[in-house]
Every structure is written in structure tokens, then in C-alpha cells.
Structure 1
């Protein structure tokens, strides 16, 4: 009997506990996900900081010119509104994306999500319209004085302000449906599910008026794209004809430096090309995302990078080639030297 009791006691003793060890494969996957999130966060951070710095410099440039001369040229006024639209894109898209990538928790209300995405779309629309307006205005400006566009060339500077206001009004009105149909979240600490980290728009694709809704949303963009392509083609043709005329002139009469109109046209062409490139990539990725129920991590973040590419690069293109920016830098340098001498 005693042996039996001893046997029972022996069987009831707890088994030795061996702690569970994480699988090396699982740990490597976790660390790899953390590394790539940090990497994309750094990319978003660099984009946002560079874009904000460049656009801040341009805005300071235009405001200084305005307070100094009490007015801005039509081209500078367009580019100032483009800079303001870039600010909207960077603050309403770049800052939240950077916070998401680094896992920083923010919890605005559902109306806050909608407002941020709405302002981002408004900034994108104004950026589109301002780029289109600058290309069309430059195409009209560089035309010969005795051409059939002479009357429009004289009136064009007076029509810039109404068209800028029209661009803002259309962008505010066209994107109002986002405030009704957008669902989703903005910032989460759990960054392992990329579908939870971006804005999502759920439009009624199966309703009878779906085609009218698509046309209503895309018509302004399509019209601006057609105008930009026409203006760019016209500018290229005018520059080509000008170059041909310069080749037939004696070298003694040809200046080694391009005239300001040519440099300004080249800047606008470069700006339009950059915009079309980023806009096309961003649109293709966005359309692809709309038809995916579970998009991958890379396509979600690539869409975010492309959507902010133009707002980040455009101020540096303008600073490098814009005559107004160069004039401001020269004026600041001369004032600096005169103050040092005195």
C-alpha cells in the first residue's frame, strides 16, 4: 500500500517546464518587417522635410517680391498658388504617412480622416490646375507679337487671377463627395497590416449613376491634361523654330546665353514633364489599389511616395531655373555686400 501511495505521489509531481523559444524564421520575419517600415518612414520623412523646406523658401521668395514691388507677375502668382497647394499635399499626406510608418499613434475622429484626405485632394487638384495654367500662360507668352494670338497675349495677365480662383473653387467642389463616401483609418500602432494604414474611398460602383460619377470626378483632370499636352507641344514647336532661326544668323549676333523667355519656357516644360510623370504613376497605382481587397505592403507605400513626388521636387526645379528666384538671390547678395561695406 505504501508503495502504491508513493507511486501516486510520484505521478502527480509537475513535469519540468521548458520555456518556449521563438522560431528563428519568425524572428527574422518580424525584424525584416520592422526594418522595412523604418526604411519607408525615413523615405517619407525625407520627402516631407525636403518638400516643406523647398516650398517654404519659394513662398518666402514670392512674399518678399510682393512686399518689395507691391505686385507679382502673372507667372509668379501662379507658382505661388502652386506652392500653397504643395503645402496642403505635404501636410495632409506626408505628415500622416510618416507617423504611420514609424508607428506613432494618432487617433483623430472619422471626420478628421475625411477632412485630411479632402484637403489632400484639394491640394492635388490646385496643383494640377496651377501647373496647367502656368504651361498655357507660358505657351501664349512666347508666341510672336504679330501672330493671331496677339489679342489673347495682351489680355492673358488680366485673366490669371480669375482662373486661379476658378481652380480653387472647382477643386473644393469636385472633391466634396470624399466627405461622404470615404471610410477607413489613418494612424495605428499596429503596422503589420498595410491595408489599415491608408485612406480608403468606397464609392458606389454598382449604382446606376456610377459612370456619371466617374466622369464628374475625372473630367477636370482630363481637361487639364489635354491643355498641358497642347501647351507643351506648342512650346516645343516654338523653341524648335527659334533654334532654327538662330542657326542661320551670324555668330557675332547670337548671344551665348539663352534669353529669359527661353529659360522660363524650359523650366515650365521640365515642371510639366515632372508632374505628368508622377501623376501618371500615382494614378496607375491608385486605380490598381481600388480593385485590390488586400493590397501588398510595397504597392501601398509606393503609391504614397509617388503621390508626394511632385510636391517635393517642384520647388527645387523652380529654384534652379526660375528667373524670379535668381533675381531674388542676386538682390539679397547685393544688399548683403553693401551692408558689409558700409
Structure 2
């Protein structure tokens, strides 16, 4: 195994550890807060599900890659390979859907009360659980095609049509079949990605307009800190740009590898990029969501600092027309 392949494989271990730590923290915090009887926000259900699927993405890709880097080749049979690839695909698609749902819900929440979203704004929290259930059901069924193309690690028949990963192998389609198949499986991702970018752009527009309206108030403030609108906009930009950039580069590499037999380092690079968002997103949410601090203080039996209360009040500012 080449040195660059080993480096890329070992890079999955710290990425997986850091990502699991952040996502597990969010899951445990919200679960303990819920069991303790604290009032939860509707958005917390989305964040919890996003953290859960992020853990599945990191585990389903990070563990096999790390074990292969340690020299444990062919540790999965064909059934294990099918399960690992299926779970990874479902979790990855759900991560996109939950991020899209989070962006859409926040866009509706901060929309002006007299806008076209006013009626939906009051009913949006009731639609979160049915929407989440729909996404889970849809992706579990839609990704059922994954096991058909996955082979065991020692599959050698028709080797020119098989792509090896180090611990499993999968069949490569040829000719016109590739374009048709790629278009079908990418269509839902394109819709969710477009909705997420549109919702985020709408939020940025609302927050910018609100910031312009209250700019004089912020100019008279003696605090050197950035305004709440600016911090919220930066959070949205960082979260969405992280997802879009990692997803786009991964899609480009995946499309390239669908047409040719790729070297191992390229496959490892694609998998590493796909796992960047699940590893980074929990820390973006933790650093930008002051409610996390309130939950921690509540669980510890302490009152949050007055600055935390003020920050929470303006963390997602409402706009007025």
C-alpha cells in the first residue's frame, strides 16, 4: 500500500473521533434535557436527527477505512458489505434532507409576520415530525438498490467491471447505463440541495434587510461584538457552504470514478470529503446556538448568565417589513 493511501486512511480516525464527539454531545444534551422535563424547541428534533445520521455516516465509513489502514483486509463478508454501504448511503442522504429541513424551517420562522409565509409559519412546527418520518421512509426505500451492486471483498469474476475499496467491491456500470443511473439517483439530491440553498439565500436576504433597518441602533452600541443578525447570517453561510462544498467535490469525484477504474487514493479522498460535513456541522451548531448553553446550565441546576439570555433572545432575529 502506498504512503499516500495510508495517510488518507488514517485521516479517517481523527475525523471520525472529532465528529462523533460533537454529534454525540448534541444527542445526549437534547435527550437529557427532554427527559428532565425542559421545554424543547421544535428545531431541536431536527438537530437531534441530523446529529444521529451524522454519527451513522461517520461510523459506516470511518470504521471500515480505519480497520483497512490497520491492515485488517477483507474483514467483511458480502452481507456485511451490503449493510455497510446501504447504511452509509441512507445516512448521507438523510443528512442532506435534515439540513434542508433545518434551513427551510428557520427561513419560515424568521420570515415577516405579514409575508406570504405567515399562515405556514404558525403551522410549521406541527409539520416537522411528519416531514422527518417521510424523509426516513423515502430514503430507506429509495436506497434499496444499493445492495444489488455491492460484492464481497474477494469477488474476482469480471474484474474489469469491479471497483475495489480495500474492504469491499462494487460493480461499475458501463456506457449509457451510467448516465441514466446517475441521473435517477442524483435527482432527489439535486432537489434537496436546491431547496436548501434557496432557503439559506432567503434567510440571508431577510437578515441583511433587518440589519439595514436597525443599523443605526447597532452603531450607537458601545459593544465591539458583531450584531446578532451578522452572527446568524455567518452561521447560515458557514453551515451551508460547508455542506455544499464537501458535497459538490464528493459528487464530482464520484461521477469521475463512475466512468473509470479509480486509484485507491482518489476513492479515499472522495470518502474523506463526504465525511467533512458530518464532522464539522455539530461544532457550527454548538458555537452558534445559545440554547445549548441554556440546556447545560439547566441540567447543572444553575441560572444562565444574563449575556446568554440576551444572546438567545436575538439569536434568530425576527424581521419586519
Q: Please, what TM-score do these two structures have when normalized by structure 1?
A: 0.77
Q: Secondary structure at the match of 1:69?
A: coil
- Aligned-pair RMSD on alpha carbons? 2.9
Does residue 1:307 correspond to 2:250, yes or no? no
Does residue 1:66 correspond to 2:34, yes or no? yes
- Alignment partners' CA distance in 2, 1:250 and 1:41: 48
Contact in 2 for aligned 1:132/1:228 (Cα 8 Å): yes
User: Alpha carbons of 1:130 and 1:113: their partners in 2 closer, same or farther (altered >3 Å)?
Assistant: same
- Alignment partners' CA distance in 1, 2:89 and 2:80: 14
Equivalent in the alignment of 2:297: 330
- Alignment partners' CA distance in 2, 1:96 and 1:209: 26
List runs of 5+ in structure 1 lacking aligned partners: 1-29, 187-193, 338-342
Contact in 2 for aligned 1:174/1:216 (Cα 8 Å): no
List runs of 5+ in structure 2 lacking aligned partners: 155-162, 305-321
Q: What are the equivalent positions in structure 2 for 1:11-160 lying under 5 Å apart?
A: 33=2, 35-69=3-37, 72-160=40-128
Which has the larger Rg?
1
Alignment length, in residue pairs? 296
Following TM superposition, by how much is the alpha carbon of 1:36 offset from its aligned partner in structure 2, in angstroms? 3.6
Which of 246, 260, 264 matches 1:292?
A: 260
Q: Which has the higher contact order (CA 8 A, sep 6+)?
A: 2
Following TM superposition, by how much is the alpha carbon of 1:37 offset from its aligned partner in structure 2, in angstroms? 4.4
- Alignment partners' CA distance in 2, 1:203 and 1:163: 34
Contact in 2 for aligned 1:92/1:117 (Cα 8 Å): yes
Following TM superposition, by how much is the alpha carbon of 1:298 offset from its aligned partner in structure 2, in angstroms? 2.5
- Deviation per CA, 1:280-308, whole angstroms, max 9, x where unpaired? 11111111111122x22331221121111
Equivalent in the alignment of 1:233: 201
Contact in 2 for aligned 1:76/1:324 (Cα 8 Å): no
